[in-house]
């Protein structure tokens, strides 16, 4: 559901869905990444960086996560 909300640019609703996932599974790397994207789209860059870092920590082999983190940190 979070992905669907994200795709139709309902970022606040997507954020809520990914937060729910993380309450149940705090180590879910994709939920951290997706939540970071939602937050970034809403102008919450500082909070997004934290979730990108968590996604990268839990899945260090992901180039997508690393690139997202680097791009936001450089901005």
Largest CA distance in the chain: 31
**pLDDT for residue 15 is more than 90:** yes
**pLDDT for residue 75 is more than 90:** no
Residue 35: count other Cβ atoms within 10 Å of its Cβ: 28
Question: pLDDT for 17-68, tens place per residue?
Answer: 999 999 999 999 999 999 999 999 999 999 999 999 999 999 999 999 999 9
Rounded CA separation 43/11 (Å) = 11
């Amino acid at each position: 559901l979070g992905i669907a909300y994200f795709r139709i640019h309902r970022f606040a609703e997507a954020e809520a869905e990914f937060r729910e996932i993380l309450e149940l599974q705090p180590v879910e790397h994709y939920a951290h990444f997706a939540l970071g994207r939602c937050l970034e789209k809403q102008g919450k860059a500082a909070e997004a960086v934290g979730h990108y870092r968590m996604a990268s920590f839990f899945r260090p082999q992901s180039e997508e996560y690393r690139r997202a983190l680097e791009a936001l940190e450089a901005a």
